[in-house]
A and B are shown apart, each in its own frame.
Chain A
């Protein structure tokens, strides 16, 4: 898959403090890419470098195969973490202004904005000052101004912070819509649930270094702990005895339907386990416990710390 954005060995230092240490990323085109990491890891610095707000000390950024340059900003839409609007300026006027700075003509911008405003049901607020709008409406406006010029690459820094669940959902839907239309979306977040739901690829940054990257599935497989859970009807004592050599037991709940969870010991397969159990009990449910992103995040960061 072609990559729309590549960073190669990007480094950035501030007085006595390294913000980015040889960070290399590859963002495939047409995907939703999650940029994860603890606070202060360097995500925002990297994002600002991609947006050409600051320049790296060393390393390169490639956009669509060429070194990123000033005219590429028209292909990029950016919603910063610290985002705001001119309070005393009218909403419609302001949205047009921001769109003009992204290269749209006044007429073009106005027309597109009306469509988006109606879609988000804030059309009646066009002539109101921003301070008259509720926070949720302001967030919608900010989103609209980010996507209005139909950029090929969208970058959202902590988009879900401050969003109520309804707007967060709306945002997720819109991100998927954008992907369907062929755009690529990068977003940084702590909201692991959203990562689960919509990301195709992720990269994890910790203390200025990249410690993890790949497609979500690959990462999950990488962190697989071979955990499983099993529900059955039968003699629980017997099951425990059969499992003992193959399984590190975690939980066991005997009952009419008994439940068991544990980790498969190295060298054994699930098939072997099931083959051993099948003759003895009635298995009602079996599934592998794939680690969620939250756990992976914590584990990866802790591993990296050691």
Chain B
């Protein structure tokens, strides 16, 4: 039998009980089949989304297309650049009719006919095929022919084509952010946009789903009548706290698993499935990387360097402070979740079944929805005043502040918003606790706001 003589012992018993509750709430959900399935399904989905586009592009590109060139001008023989997948075979004469009639047995992918009119007319080139000719082949050919013609024209004007490449300029605009302390940081708006959007959506989903899980747990305990058994052993506040914390830990575990598994799957599978996506990936990443302020090697990286490049890209992307982003995500998720979680618990205690929660859920989640809507509107204008205010007001700050963070937020504003969030969730938890402890023992009564107000004023 336990003796709780001193306050110290008593408080440690109280703590132990909340820990016991947290343990139960956590383990029952984590061992649940649906949690395990979601933990595996999620990363598979994410990794798939990242790998699939490149895979598909690869599939399109694996066949080598051999184009039969029938050139009336004879200036293109051997001059058209080839790639791994596009090759040219030059016919000795310009007998278009002959080659057209033989085409179906020829095995060539397409027939490229360049007529005499090419110097004067833009429509002098035709591409014949019995297949659908895709865009990148057409673009490749037209670029090649244009370039060759330009060189020819220059030569006939007396200009050395070598001068042309010396003259060619490639302008990249470096966006540079001037910070308060006089530094200049290279900016990367695209990446920030992506991060901002991602963070906002993730936090919204995390808070909403976790809050929902808490609410359902509360309703379950009411409907199967176990709640009274438990509150004869612990205070309702302890049960509520244990449940909210337990569910929060489950969500964090879920996210951690997702990140780890997604990354593992991607880095394990990507090099195998997309050996040449490195090339395409680099082409896509080029604008981002060069804008990041450092010039990475222009050479084609090998597959093994893909991961290194990712890291390099992350590191070189100017002043996106990932430490701040991750810490802010965790903090604002926790703050927002504790705020909404307690309110969701209160809602759960007011009803007898999930259907009745509808009338309360809508007003409760309105601020979150608002912050998502505003996010999509201000995503290209992170300094908008509306976004600023929403990032300070506690009910919308989790989403809105995370939207702003990738663009850099003064620490004073972050602290202000954080302090308000903490104060508000303490207040809401206290309020929710009062509703919860009465609601869980009430059955059958339709809870009007007037009733609830009475519960709050009860001793």
- From 56 to 113 in chain A, residues with beta carbon under 8 angstroms from any chain B beta carbon are 57, 70-71, 73-76, 78-80, 82-89, 97-98, 100-103
Interface string of B223-239 (1 = CB under 8 A from A): 01110111111110000
Whole-angstrom distance from the CB of A146 to the nearest CB of chain B? Answer: 8
Query: Is A98 a contact of B233 with CB atoms below 8 Å?
Result: yes
Listed in ascending order, the chain B residues whose CB lies under 8 Å from chain A are 1-4, 10, 13, 17, 20-21, 24, 28, 220-221, 224-226, 228-235, 441, 443, 451, 454, 459
With A78-B229, A80-B229 known to touch, is A150 a contact of B224 (CB < 8 Å)? Answer: no
Write out the residue numbers on chain B whose beta carbons fall within 8 Å of the beta carbon of A51. 232
How many angstroms from the CA of A101 to the CA of B234 in the assembled complex? Answer: 7
Shortest Cβ-Cβ A-B pairs, 6 listed:
A84-B225, A101-B233, A71-B4, A84-B224, A78-B232, A80-B228
Write out the residue numbers on chain A whose beta carbons fall within 8 Å of the beta carbon of B221. 86
Query: Is B226 a contact of A84 with CB atoms below 8 Å?
Result: yes
Query: Is A74 a contact of B28 with CB atoms below 8 Å?
Result: no
Query: Is B24 a contact of A97 with CB atoms below 8 Å?
Result: yes
Whole-angstrom distance from the CB of A211 to the nearest CB of chain B? Answer: 26
Query: Is A101 a contact of B226 with CB atoms below 8 Å?
Result: no
How many angstroms from the CA of A102 to the CA of B221 in the assembled complex? Answer: 18
How many angstroms from the CA of A103 to the CA of B24 in the assembled complex? Answer: 15
The answer, yes or no, to whether A149 is at the interface (CB within 8 Å) is: yes
The answer, yes or no, to whether A305 is at the interface (CB within 8 Å) is: no
How many angstroms from the CA of A83 to the CA of B24 in the assembled complex? Answer: 19
Beta-carbon nearest neighbor of B234 in chain A: A101
Beta-carbon nearest neighbor of A82 in chain B: B225
Whole-angstrom distance from the CB of B8 to the nearest CB of chain A? Answer: 13
How many angstroms from the CA of A100 to the CA of B13 in the assembled complex? Answer: 11
Query: Is A101 a contact of B20 with CB atoms below 8 Å?
Result: yes
Interface string of A148-172 (1 = CB under 8 A from B): 0110000000000000000000000
Beta-carbon nearest neighbor of A72 in chain B: B4
How many angstroms from the CA of A78 to the CA of B441 in the assembled complex? Answer: 15
Write out the residue numbers on chain A whose beta carbons fall within 8 Å of the beta carbon of B232. 51, 53, 73, 76, 78, 80
Query: Is B228 a contact of A74 with CB atoms below 8 Å?
Result: no
Q: List 7 A-B contacts (CB under 8 A).
A: A71-B10, A79-B229, A80-B232, A86-B220, A101-B230, A102-B233, A103-B1
How many angstroms from the CA of A85 to the CA of B224 in the assembled complex? Answer: 6
Query: Is B1 a contact of A145 with CB atoms below 8 Å?
Result: no
With A15-B454, A89-B28, A101-B20 known to touch, is A83 a contact of B228 (CB < 8 Å)? Answer: yes
Write out the residue numbers on chain B whose beta carbons fall within 8 Å of the beta carbon of A53. 228, 231-232, 441
> What 4 new A-B contacts, CB under 8 Å, besides A53-B441, A76-B232, A97-B24?
A71-B2, A83-B229, A103-B2, A150-B1
Beta-carbon nearest neighbor of A149 in chain B: B1
Whole-angstrom distance from the CB of A40 to the nearest CB of chain B? Answer: 13
How many angstroms from the CA of A100 to the CA of B238 in the assembled complex? Answer: 14
How many angstroms from the CA of A98 to the CA of B20 in the assembled complex? Answer: 10
With A71-B4, A102-B233 known to touch, is A97 a contact of B20 (CB < 8 Å)? Answer: yes
Our pick among B13, B220, B230, B231 for the contact of A103 (Cβ within 8 Å) is B13
Provide the main secondary structure of the chain A interface: loop
Beta-carbon nearest neighbor of A55 in chain B: B459
With A101-B20, A103-B13 known to touch, is A74 a contact of B229 (CB < 8 Å)? Answer: no
How many angstroms from the CA of A78 to the CA of B232 in the assembled complex? Answer: 7
Write out the residue numbers on chain A whose beta carbons fall within 8 Å of the beta carbon of B231. 53
Query: Is A145 a contact of B229 with CB atoms below 8 Å?
Result: yes
Residue among A75, A84, A88 with max Cβ neighbours from chain B (10 Å): A84
Our pick among A54, A74, A85, A145 for the contact of B2 (Cβ within 8 Å) is A74
Write out the residue numbers on chain A whose beta carbons fall within 8 Å of the beta carbon of B235. 70
Write out the residue numbers on chain A whose beta carbons fall within 8 Å of the beta carbon of B1. 74-75, 103, 149-150
Write out the residue numbers on chain B whose beta carbons fall within 8 Å of the beta carbon of A85. 224, 226
Whole-angstrom distance from the CB of B45 to the nearest CB of chain A? Answer: 27
Beta-carbon nearest neighbor of A57 in chain B: B459
Write out the residue numbers on chain B whose beta carbons fall within 8 Å of the beta carbon of A76. 232
Query: Is A98 a contact of B4 with CB atoms below 8 Å?
Result: no
Write out the residue numbers on chain A whose beta carbons fall within 8 Å of the beta carbon of B2. 71, 74, 103
Write out the residue numbers on chain B whose beta carbons fall within 8 Å of the beta carbon of A88. 28
How many angstroms from the CA of A145 to the CA of B221 in the assembled complex? Answer: 17
Write out the residue numbers on chain A whose beta carbons fall within 8 Å of the beta carbon of B234. 101
Whole-angstrom distance from the CB of B171 to the nearest CB of chain A? Answer: 63
Write out the residue numbers on chain A whose beta carbons fall within 8 Å of the beta carbon of B454. 15
How many angstroms from the CA of A57 to the CA of B458 in the assembled complex? Answer: 10
How many angstroms from the CA of A150 to the CA of B1 in the assembled complex? Answer: 8
Residue among B2, B24, B230, B233 with max Cβ neighbours from chain A (10 Å): B233
How many angstroms from the CA of A84 to the CA of B232 in the assembled complex? Answer: 13
Beta-carbon nearest neighbor of A90 in chain B: B28
Query: Is B233 a contact of A87 with CB atoms below 8 Å?
Result: no
- From 18 to 52 in chain A, residues with beta carbon under 8 angstroms from any chain B beta carbon are 48, 51
How many angstroms from the CA of A54 to the CA of B20 in the assembled complex? Answer: 23
Beta-carbon nearest neighbor of A48 in chain B: B441
Interface string of A174-212 (1 = CB under 8 A from B): 000000000000000000000000000000000000000
Query: Is B228 a contact of A82 with CB atoms below 8 Å?
Result: yes
Beta-carbon nearest neighbor of B14 in chain A: A70
Beta-carbon nearest neighbor of A81 in chain B: B228
Write out the residue numbers on chain A whose beta carbons fall within 8 Å of the beta carbon of B28. 86, 88-89
Beta-carbon nearest neighbor of B221 in chain A: A86
Our pick among B17, B224, B451, B459 for the contact of A101 (Cβ within 8 Å) is B17
How many angstroms from the CA of A83 to the CA of B459 in the assembled complex? Answer: 25
Write out the residue numbers on chain A whose beta carbons fall within 8 Å of the beta carbon of B229. 78-80, 83-84, 98, 142, 145
